[in-house]
Structure 1
Amino acid sequence: MFIYILKPLGPLHLTGNLVDDAGSIPFPRSDTIAAAIAISIEQLYGDCPEAIFQDALFAVSSAMPWSKVNANKEPTLFLPIRKDTIFPEIDKKYKRLAWVEQSFWDKMFDSNEFLLQLDNIDHFIYDEFLSSSSSEIQHTSVRQRVTVDRAGGESETFFFGESYFSELSIGDSCQSGFWIAAEFSDDEIQSKFESALRLLGDTGIGADRSSGRGCFQIIQH
């Protein structure tokens, strides 16, 4: 398995509901990323996207957050909290907890024990993140738009979210973004995948790409 650390170059336009039913912060899903990568491979190499999926040439995860508070340190990865394990200590008060720092995640779900003292837990939970750092990782801004029916002239209001990452919102004291994991059938498809990922970073993922939304760069893999 290969990990790719991606740094957003601007906000990410999130379509649909602001948050899902579990209350988690939306990041690009695996099917969205896989489809975008397959289309980019077709643009670069002429490979048929349908054949890529039929032959299972690669598998890619949904995007997950990362943060880094020190330029000299490795990024801290976050994983989604597992819903198949219940910790009574946090079940009621922290239902919105969605992302767990990898070092905590490994201990929690390997041992099935909540590792933090209850009288100390508030020092580690920030919004939907269980983290050893209090730095802001990401926030979502709700925006409103109006569409007008050309035929009837009726207007309809809808809302969408834009995801901003820490360097964009609170300066250079913290960097954050999203990461993905991928597996490949061979070295050739990995090379094509990485080229397509770079192209996708230049063109953007999500909506409003023409205005710079959804662009990113690969900073580590």
Structure 2
Amino acid sequence: MSVWKLVKLNFGRSPAHFGEVGIGMEETSDRVRSDALFSAWVSIYARLFGKEAVEELLQQFPTKDKLELAPPFRISSTFVYREVDGGDRKIYYLPRPLKFPTNYPDDDLAFFKTYKKLNYLPLEVWQRWYQGEGFKESDTQELIDETKDKSQGDLKTLGTFDYKKAFKIDKVPKIAVDRVTRATNLYHTGFVQFAWEKDKAGLYFLLQLSPEGEKLADKLHAALELLGEEGIGGERSSGAGRFEVNWLDLPETWKQIVDFQDGKYHSILSLFWDSEIKADFLENSSYEIQERGGWIAESQLRRKMVRMFAEGSVFLSSPQGMLADVTPQEFEKLKKHKIYRSGISLSLPIKAKEK
């Protein structure tokens, strides 16, 4: 029997820089994906508890050579939450599954552009569309109204169109100094700042612990607290990416969602990778692919690139995933440790419109 946790990351006044493959320093994502969170968390775990402890931890995760293992824990990517009305109401955003909800109309030309922009849905809307009664006629009219900035219904009240009110992204000028010539170069770095005044916002993720993983819960919590003190993402030397951890038991609404039994499909909340994807696994699925790469922290080498299924992808069966070995050849020649990127999947059961 697994145990679920809801973990909130409160960045307060601290800005953050979350890099992605394909964007430069001038841009930043508004959140951290599951593989980046896993890497940062495991790295700080190693510093806190030592090399042997982290090697013992990683040996419990499935890889291409150890398919039979069940991971001690699974994590989702981070997503935005908002606290509005003085903190009395909390809005958790989830990625919109890449299938239409049940009862979605065939004639959607009047509002499809507005619907397509809803990359993230408030928890209540996500639950109704994909685990409850599905899409309603009133949703159609409200989406049509939203194209004219006139929506006033339930979707508006629940924060469906207010995702970007949780944060703002700015570019900050910086100066780089050449170590040899002392020449200077002006550049800009993108930072995301989560709301921290009247309405507050931050990131959250779901954590699923197996019975073995429960034994590690205190260590994982301690490592995450240390990660919060040091920061996550880029520009940490400038004080970016620092957060406070709120480690919570799963609220009742979330329990209903993770325990849902009537779903035919599974929508992933994390990145997902497997060494071998069979054709029948992709039958009647809807997915997007995300390239993942990046630098190795302790060297000037890049990890091997790997392509993963993105959050919101939908499959008929629950994907499991594994760690991908992304150790570059140069790193292997130095006989250093392996570099892994997490493709361990976390998914939720859903209903969806049939073709």
Report TM bin, short chain.
0.7 to 0.9
Distance in 2 (CA, whole Å) between partners of 1:162 and 1:77 is: 22
Query: Which of the pair has the greater relative contact order for Cα pairs under 8 Å at 6+ separation?
Result: 1
Distance in 1 (CA, whole Å) between partners of 2:100 and 2:38 is: 28
Residue 66 (structure 1) aligned with residue 81 (structure 2): yes
Q: Give the CA deviation at 1:173.
A: 1.5
- Give the greater-gyration-radius structure (CA): 2
Name the amino acid aligned to 2:81: W
The answer to whether the 8 Å contact 1:77/1:102 transfers is yes
Q: Which residue is equivalent to 1:95?
A: 116
In structure 2, stretches of 5+ residues that fail to align are 61-70, 249-355
In terms of mean alpha carbon deviation, does 206-215 or 51-60 score higher? 51-60
Taking only aligned residues, the RMSD between alpha carbons, in angstroms, comes to: 3.4
The answer to whether the 8 Å contact 1:135/1:174 transfers is no
Name the amino acid aligned to 1:139: K
Name the amino acid aligned to 2:135: E
The answer to whether the 8 Å contact 1:147/1:157 transfers is yes
Structure showing the higher strand proportion among its residues = 1
Q: TM-score, normalised by structure 1?
A: 0.77
Distance in 2 (CA, whole Å) between partners of 1:97 and 1:154 is: 45
Q: Which residue is equivalent to 1:208?
A: 235
- Of 130, 151, 168 in structure 1, the residue corresponding to residue 160 of structure 2 is 130
- Of 50, 54, 59 in structure 2, the residue corresponding to residue 49 of structure 1 is 54
Give SS of 2:227's match.
Answer: helix
Q: Percent identity, please.
A: 22
Give SS of 1:5's match.
Answer: strand
- Of 190, 207, 212 in structure 2, the residue corresponding to residue 161 of structure 1 is 190
Q: Give the CA deviation at 1:201.
A: 0.7
Distance in 2 (CA, whole Å) between partners of 1:40 and 1:163 is: 23
- Of 202, 205, 218 in structure 2, the residue corresponding to residue 180 of structure 1 is 205
Q: Give the CA deviation at 1:70.
A: 3.2
Q: TM-score, normalised by structure 2?
A: 0.51
Q: Give the CA deviation at 1:158.
A: 6.6
Which runs of structure 2 are paired with 1:32-47 in the superposition (5 Å)?
Answer: 32-46=36-50, 47=52
In structure 1, stretches of 5+ residues that fail to align are 20-24
Deviations 1:154-193 (A, max 9, x none): 99887643111111xxxx2101101011122332211111
Q: Which residue is equivalent to 1:82?
A: 97
Deviations 1:48-76 (A, max 9, x none): 43442331222111100001113452522
Q: Which residue is equivalent to 1:113?
A: 135
Residue 11 (structure 1) aligned with residue 15 (structure 2): yes
Change (3 A) 1:136 1:18: farther
Aligned residues: 210
Deviations 1:132-155 (A, max 9, x none): x69921122234667677789999
Distance in 1 (CA, whole Å) between partners of 2:97 and 2:185 is: 37
